[in-house]
A and B are shown apart, each in its own frame.
Chain A
Amino acid sequence: MITWLRRNLFRTWWDSIMTVVFGYVGLWVIWTVIEFVFVTGRWEIIQVNLKLLLVGRFPDELMWLVGASLTALAFWVAAVAGGSKIDLNNVQTIPQRLFDYTRRFGLIVALAALLIFLAADIAALLLAFQVLGAVVVGRLVGLARRKVSVLGAIPSIIWHPMLGSPAIALVLVTLMESTLEEWGGFLINFYMAIISIVLCFPLGVLLALGRRSSFPIIRLVTTTYIELIRGAPLFVLLLLAGVALEFFIPPSIAPDAIFRGVTVFTLFTAAYLAEIVRGGLQSIPKGQTEAGKALGLSTTKITYLITMPQALRNVIPAQIGQFISLFKDTTLAGAALNILDVLNVGTAITKQQDFLGQGLIYEALAFVALLFWVGSYVMSRESQRLEKRLGVGVR
């Protein structure tokens, strides 16, 4: 014990000073946070406005759409995760696996529990169980694909869209079913991010292929696009889309603010994704392509069957990092396009009649921060775990 203390905390006199000073600061921060959460914080502002913060003024009779799309999404994600060969959990015992799941998803479950507790609504609890059920079913479907050869024979390019399309369709219907005046809250951030991720992925892969192509004109076009987008701030692009989009397309088909945001996020993230995928393609040894050629495969087949799968797998962590930053950047749409996203709702509720001028901005922003933090943190932990599993940088 004494040795441990000496080794970790009081190695030298300088070390001891650091330990005392930073230990004091750390304890002070922890104490302040605990005091804020349990004593001084006035959380009724969150409790009263919980629905506004999460879904805005979404019409009650359409709430089933939100539940259905969330369930379909959970099913899809679980099926993808369960079907991937890199998941090699089989060796562990049951308690080990439980511990592992708790560490990975405990935060999400805790956040869900907190939201259900704040909502104090039986429907929220039912939705949670519905989503949990979808996760279990999705995982079984994913497993089945690995174990049952008939399912395994379905090529990925058909399998993934087949599982994902119901989720995407439901999310799109949810986004379109209500007008912008009724929309708002965290769900808008979440769904804008989901749709943009799904749309920007194929575009980014195509751009990466274009940039590595042997056709000079295609290389020129894609490189120009990627570099122009990467040199521009997202916020200015969103502002431009907000005020100037109707100049560039016929006004009759100009979309509403949410889809303007989705368009900009897609085009923007695709350029960054293209650079990530290009890095992945560059990391594939030349021998892989040459082996493909020796087998007499066409260039398309070499790309689709040999280089692209390896390239995409190698850069999964970087891709997830880009998607996390897209998820966080959806708040910019609120500021640039006047969408009532969760951050705008969070600052607006402090100006309500009941809460005006009482300095509740800390409570509101803390809640918004919690939503984003749990989402991003769990995703980034998962990506670190994948990185270890894939052995990126080890081989």
Chain B
Amino acid sequence: MSSLPSAPAKVPIWRDVRVLRWLFQIAVLAVVGLIIYWIWGNYQTNIERSSVQTDLRFLDNPASFTIPGNDFDQSSPVRAAFVQGFLNTIQVALVGIFFATILGTIVGIARLSKNLVVKTIAAAYVEVIRNLPLLLLLTFMNLAVVLQTFPRIEDAWKPLDLFVISNRGLAIPWFEGSAGQLSLLVLAGIVLAVIVVRLERARADKVGRPSRALLLGTLALAIVPVVGWITLGYTWTLPFVDGRGTSGGLRLDPSFFALIVALVVYTSSHIAEIVRGSILAVPRGQGEAADALALSNSQKMRIIILPQAFRVAMPALGNQYLNLIKNSSLGATISYFELTQIAQITVGNGSPAVPAFTLTLLVYLAISLFTSLFVNYFNRRLALVER
């Protein structure tokens, strides 16, 4: 019997897919390596020619500029300026995310309202804001609202005598006392609130009544700091006009105010769309089931719809939070002293540009990574547990 064609001879090496795959990858790697090598070589020759620093020694030089609103002085090192800028960025990010989430959720729910007026206004808000550049909103807030429309300090607006609004900034009532003790009290309040919520949920499950965890938790959260504050003998102060400035209360920089308002308004219009989409993504049956159980509209929203909607919305919300943090770098255009502005000033004062901006980028990268870790953690907590 004739022999079958023998098993194919060993594939020649230039047609072996495994070899080709690795050759291709090595070629790509070589190209990337060459580009990096070329850039690095250019960098070396260019810094040699212009003899600028390449390391981070500039961080120890005196900063020779001041940051309004704290005790940072001209002789402090650049390092301290970067730390202050980092703290300011974090502050903007936290305050901005807090208010943008609340406003965005409200507008998102309002867009689905049965009330024609509410629905139309919410839709107009989203459509107008979403299609404008953030820098335009920021410029508007800074040049048109704060610097032009807000009155001078002599005839500042004082709504209800609680606030002082002028083109030198906004002053709001604030606690008086040490920030450390306040944070400790707030922490204690949070711990108590968590315990109360757990207990109340367990009790409600046992008795079979609707839980009042939200109400009781909020009360616990509020009572501890307030009671502690009073027993420690601290007070709170109202701001008042004092010569060319304000005393008492907490003074917000005009640029801080403009930046926060612009970021919150812009981001909330995006968050509203996410919230709306997520609410629509909750199966209709869930709402109908809530109606069948005779839950009130607010109960239906709070207990049934929103928790499920936020599960869908969480990844997209996380992206918006990252955007807000990165967009806070625009504060530099209105001289708010956050990270980017600090980098820009020190580079203007003679710090080497490449290390300074690289450092800035790395800090933003670290903040972004940290935020995504946080969001991913929440996402896993919220995710539907599947069998």
Q: Is B87 an interface residue (CB 8 A)?
A: no
Known: A221-B28, A329-B133. A235 touches B332 (CB 8 A): yes
Q: Is B195 an interface residue (CB 8 A)?
A: no
Q: Quick check: B364 and A233 within 8 Å, CB to CB?
A: yes
Pick the contact of B344: A9, A239, A343 (CB < 8 A): A239
Q: Which residues of chain B are near A361, meaning CB under 8 Å? A: 143-144, 148
| B117-125, B196-204, B220-228 - interface stretch | B117-125
7 sample A-B contacts, Cβ–Cβ < 8 Å, listed by A number: A15-B114, A215-B24, A217-B25, A217-B28, A231-B368, A240-B358, A244-B357
Q: Quick check: A372 and B132 within 8 Å, CB to CB?
A: yes
Q: Quick check: B327 and A343 within 8 Å, CB to CB?
A: no
Q: Is A394 an interface residue (CB 8 A)?
A: no
Please name the residue on chain B nearest to A11 by beta carbon: B114
Q: Is B127 an interface residue (CB 8 A)?
A: yes
| A131-139, A245-253, A307-315 - interface stretch | A245-253
In order of increasing CB-CB distance, the 8 nearest A-B pairs are: A376-B131, A328-B133, A233-B326, A231-B365, A233-B329, A231-B368, A8-B116, A217-B25
CB contact list, B15-41 vs A, under 8 A: 21, 24-26, 28-29, 32, 39
Q: Contact flags (1/0) for A14-27 with B, using CB distance below 8 Å?
A: 01001100110110
Q: Quick check: A324 and B131 within 8 Å, CB to CB?
A: yes
CB contact list, A349-382 vs B, under 8 A: 359, 361-362, 365, 368-369, 372-373, 376-377, 380
Tell me the complex Cα distance, A92–B131, Å: 30
Q: Is A123 an interface residue (CB 8 A)?
A: no
Tell me the complex Cα distance, A216–B116, Å: 55
Q: Quick check: B144 and A365 within 8 Å, CB to CB?
A: yes
CB contact list, B135-164 vs A, under 8 A: 135-136, 139-140, 143-144, 148
The residues of A with any CB-CB pair to B shorter than 8 Å are 7-9, 11, 15, 18-19, 22-23, 25-26, 215-218, 221, 228, 230-237, 239-240, 243-244, 246-251, 324, 328-329, 331-332, 334-335, 343, 347, 359, 361-362, 365, 368-369, 372-373, 376-377, 380
Q: Which residues of chain B are near A324, meaning CB under 8 Å? A: 131
- A18-B115, A372-B132 given; 13 more Cβ-contact pairs under 8 Å: A8-B114, A8-B116, A19-B116, A232-B361, A232-B365, A236-B340, A240-B353, A243-B353, A244-B353, A244-B357, A324-B131, A347-B143, A372-B131
Please name the residue on chain B nearest to A247 by beta carbon: B46
Q: Quick check: B115 and A233 within 8 Å, CB to CB?
A: no
Q: Quick check: B329 and A347 within 8 Å, CB to CB?
A: no
Report the minimal beta-carbon distance from B185 to chain A, rounded to whole angstroms.
Answer: 35
How many pairs, one residue from A and one from B, have CB atoms within 8 Å of each other in the complex?
A: 151
Known: A246-B46, A251-B46, A377-B127. A9 touches B32 (CB 8 A): no
Tell me the complex Cα distance, A343–B132, Å: 12
Pick the contact of B136: A233, A235, A249, A343 (CB < 8 A): A343
Q: Is B347 an interface residue (CB 8 A)?
A: yes
Tell me the complex Cα distance, A236–B363, Å: 11
Q: Is B354 an interface residue (CB 8 A)?
A: yes
Q: Quick check: B117 and A373 within 8 Å, CB to CB?
A: no
Q: Quick check: A22 and B118 within 8 Å, CB to CB?
A: yes
Q: Quick check: A369 and B132 within 8 Å, CB to CB?
A: yes
Please name the residue on chain A nearest to B354 by beta carbon: A244
Tell me the complex Cα distance, A343–B327, Å: 17
Q: Quick check: B25 and A215 within 8 Å, CB to CB?
A: yes
Pick the contact of A19: B46, B115, B140 (CB < 8 A): B115
Tell me the complex Cα distance, A111–B56, Å: 52
Q: Quick check: A235 and B340 within 8 Å, CB to CB?
A: yes
Q: Is B128 an interface residue (CB 8 A)?
A: yes
Tell me the complex Cα distance, A361–B364, Å: 33
Q: Is B383 an interface residue (CB 8 A)?
A: no
Chain B: interface secondary structure? helix
- From A11, A244, A247, name the one whose CB has the most chain B CB atoms within 10 angstroms: A247
Report the minimal beta-carbon distance from B27 to chain A, rounded to whole angstroms.
Answer: 10
CB contact list, B363-387 vs A, under 8 A: 364-365, 368-369
Please name the residue on chain B nearest to A350 by beta carbon: B143
Please name the residue on chain A nearest to B357 by beta carbon: A240
Q: Is B211 an interface residue (CB 8 A)?
A: no
Q: Quick check: A236 and B121 within 8 Å, CB to CB?
A: no
Tell me the complex Cα distance, A96–B123, Å: 26
Q: Which residues of chain A are near B364, meaning CB under 8 Å? A: 231-233, 236
Tell me the complex Cα distance, A251–B46, Å: 8
Report the minimal beta-carbon distance from B58 to chain A, rounded to whole angstroms.
Answer: 14
Q: Which residues of chain B are near A231, meaning CB under 8 Å? A: 364-365, 368-369
Q: Which residues of chain A are near B353, meaning CB under 8 Å? A: 240, 243-244, 247
Pick the contact of A9: B116, B333, B368 (CB < 8 A): B116
Report the minimal beta-carbon distance from B266 to chain A, rounded to whole angstroms.
Answer: 10
Q: Quick check: B135 and A332 within 8 Å, CB to CB?
A: yes
Q: Is B330 an interface residue (CB 8 A)?
A: yes
Q: Is B172 an interface residue (CB 8 A)?
A: no
Q: Is B360 an interface residue (CB 8 A)?
A: yes
Please name the residue on chain A nearest to B33 by beta carbon: A221
Q: Quick check: A328 and B46 within 8 Å, CB to CB?
A: no
Q: Quick check: B131 and A373 within 8 Å, CB to CB?
A: yes
Q: Quick check: B365 and A365 within 8 Å, CB to CB?
A: no
Tell me the complex Cα distance, A231–B326, Å: 8
Q: Quick check: A239 and B340 within 8 Å, CB to CB?
A: yes
Tell me the complex Cα distance, A324–B133, Å: 10
Q: Which residues of chain B are near A380, meaning CB under 8 Å? A: 130-131
Q: Quick check: A25 and B39 within 8 Å, CB to CB?
A: no
